Amino acid sequence: MRCPIENGEGEVLLDSVRSASLEDHIRGCAACGEFVAAQMATDGSLELWDAPPVSIDFDRRLYSRIAKEVPWWESLVRPFRPVFARRLVPITAAAGLLIAAGLWLDRPGSMPPPPASAEVQPLPPDQAEHALQDMETIQEFSRLIHADAAEPRL
Amino acid sequence: MAGAVAALDYDAELMLRVKDGDGASFGVLLEKHRSSVVHFLYRMVQNPAVAEELAQEVFLRVYRSRATYEPTAKFTTWLFRIATHLALNALRDNKYERLQDRLDDDSSDIPVRQVSDGRPSVEQRMVYAAKLDEVRRAIAALPEKQRAAVLMHKYEEMEYSQIAKVLNCSESAVKSLLFRAYEALRARLAHMA
């Protein structure tokens, strides 16, 4: 294996997971062995540096800043948001259906237009006379039927 | 979409819930990442009060961005990109006082490690404080980008690919940054070994 340091590829020695061939090389190469030992010592020194704990009021301060950014109307609406979210879909669907039905019924050509005005056609005299005769015949026929029904049957 | 997010990471899924108005999910994300963000920023600016102020700004920006959030990368990549951006700006603007100005006369934030008998001696405390001071100065002496790379690599245990995304550079550039940074640290901290 080529020496990473000699080839200007020393960064591969920083990897915590190394290939078996690289490990073999490090064991046999003084320069690489020295590099790795020095890096381990540096890692150990860096581990001395613990960060201080986070302040206990960190979250309170953050939420206070967030609350200042939320508009007042959103604060009012927020408690009802789950109810709106749950009921909004069926209400919107029902309203949509009603509007669609209204538009469909209201569309032009869906119903036959009413006649402009009711017109009465005058009857010719011969037709009127014929109609009167028909009515008299019907009345005569009706009388005969009634008379027949009144006589006792044998 | 949801399946893709789950494959990406659980944090991104939580952030999508925040986007949908679930405040509790924001609380979960805060609980999970609060310490790592504050500690990263602390090691960047080396001032606990400033670090917390910047961390507040990080989480505030996360919350503000909820409506436009898209899980295009790991959540922690996005989170640390915001944190790094704020830290680098703060250092460049010299808005906040640096370690050398503040920490020489303020060691109250140094956590004292306990030795086996439970109470470190005065001498042990002094040796520890001196070593710690060396480490902090060595880190502070690194160029800002190298410092960010080392802190993410060493303390946050991030992979090269993720550090590259946070710093918006190639993976080979990150390896090069880290190599030079550790080279400087090895030279500076060699006497401590």
CB contact under 8 A, A58 and B52: yes
Helix axes B122-140, A30-46, angle to 10 degrees: 110
Nearest by CB: A48 against B43, B48, B132: B132
pLDDT digits (tens, 9 = 90+) for B3-59: 444 456 899 999 999 999 899 999 999 999 999 999 999 999 999 999 999 999 999
Phi, psi for residue A127 in degrees, rounded to 5 = -70, -40
- Cα(A4)–Cα(A18) distance, integer angstroms: 12
Residue with tokens 């020095």: A38
- Cα(A7)–Cα(A32) distance, integer angstroms: 12
CB contact under 8 A, B56 and A66: no
Four-residue CA torsion sign, A106, A107, A111, A112: positive
Residue A152, pLDDT score: 52
Residue with tokens 């006369």: B105
Count the residues in chain B.
193
- Cα(A111)–Cα(A86) distance, integer angstroms: 39
Q: Please name which of B69, B63, B81, B82 lies closest in space to residue B13, comparing C-alpha atoms.
A: B69
* Runs of H (alpha helix) within A70-124: 72-77, 81-105
- Cα(B189)–Cα(B145) distance, integer angstroms: 20
B 130-189 residues inside an 8 A Cβ radius of A: 131-132, 134-136, 139, 154-155, 175-176, 178-179, 182, 185-186, 189
Residue with tokens 């986007």: B19
- Cα(A55)–Cα(A53) distance, integer angstroms: 6
User: Do the Cβ atoms of B154 and B179 come closer than 8 Å?
Assistant: no
Residue B121, pLDDT score: 83
User: Do the Cβ atoms of B45 and B51 come closer than 8 Å?
Assistant: yes
ipTM of this predicted complex? 0.82
- Cα(B26)–Cα(A88) distance, integer angstroms: 25
In angstroms, the separation between the Cα of residue A97 and the nearest Cα of chain B is 27
- Cα(B184)–Cα(A61) distance, integer angstroms: 38
Nearest by CB: A46 against B42, B113, B154: B154
Torsion of CA B95, B98, B103, B104, to 10 degrees: -120
- Cα(A143)–Cα(A89) distance, integer angstroms: 72
- Cα(A62)–Cα(B57) distance, integer angstroms: 9
Residue B105, pLDDT score: 46
* pLDDT string in tens for chain B (193-residue length): 444 444 568 999 999 999 998 999 999 999 999 999 999 999 999 999 999 999 999 999 999 999 999 998 899 999 999 999 999 999 988 755 554 455 444 454 555 555 556 777 888 888 888 999 999 999 999 999 999 999 999 999 999 999 999 999 999 999 999 999 999 999 999 887 6
Task: Count Cβ atoms within 10 A of the Cβ of residue B154 and give its class: 0-12 exposed, 13-18 middle, 19 or more buried.
Answer: buried
CB contact under 8 A, B39 and A81: no
pLDDT digits (tens, 9 = 90+) for A26-82: 888 999 999 999 999 999 999 999 999 999 999 999 999 998 877 666 666 666 665
Q: Which domains does chain B have, with CATH numbers?
A: 1-99 (1.10.1740.10), 120-193 (1.10.10.10)
